[in-house]
Amino acid sequence: MKKVFAILGLMVVFSFYGCDIESGENFQFISLKITAVALPESFEQNTSHNIQVTYERPDNCTFFEGFDVFEVDLNTRSIVAIGSLLKMDECALMQDEVNTSFEFIALNTSSYTLRFYSGDDENGNPIYLEYVIPVIPEGVN
């Protein structure tokens, strides 16, 4: 039994061989600018809706990771496209616009205000593309 524990212990030690724990992270998360949004004229309550979003990829060191959706109040959401920026010596500027989407479900019957982060103004305050979408109650067509 002691031999089994010794072998397992050596396996654990060698599994960490070559790992550099002190090096830290080689990336950071950043907010990406959303430049356009395709929304339906209305949401149907309790139905999934595909929201098309175009965001700006500034360079070849930045990669899309997903969306953060913040509930401001009952029917207001702030949506931010999140990217990871790799810490590299050289990054080629791209100013590439990329399309992606996410699913949204309107749970309430009141209109929703969706605010999409679109960068910062000259004072560092966030700018949003803002849309108010009415909701059709479930079962009403």
Q: What are φ and ψ of residue 96, in 5° steps? A: -85, 135
Distances (CA, A) of 56 to 31, 85, 107: 10, 13, 30
User: What is the C-alpha separation between 29 and 62, in angstroms, rounded?
Assistant: 9
Residue 88's pLDDT band (boundaries 50, 70, 90)?
confident
User: What is the C-alpha separation between 40 and 52, in angstroms, rounded?
Assistant: 10
pLDDT confidence of residue 138: 85
**pLDDT tens digits along 30-84:** 999 999 999 999 999 999 999 999 999 999 999 999 999 999 999 999 999 999 9
Per-residue DSSP letter, 26:
S
Q: What is the CATH number of domain 23-136?
A: 2.60.40
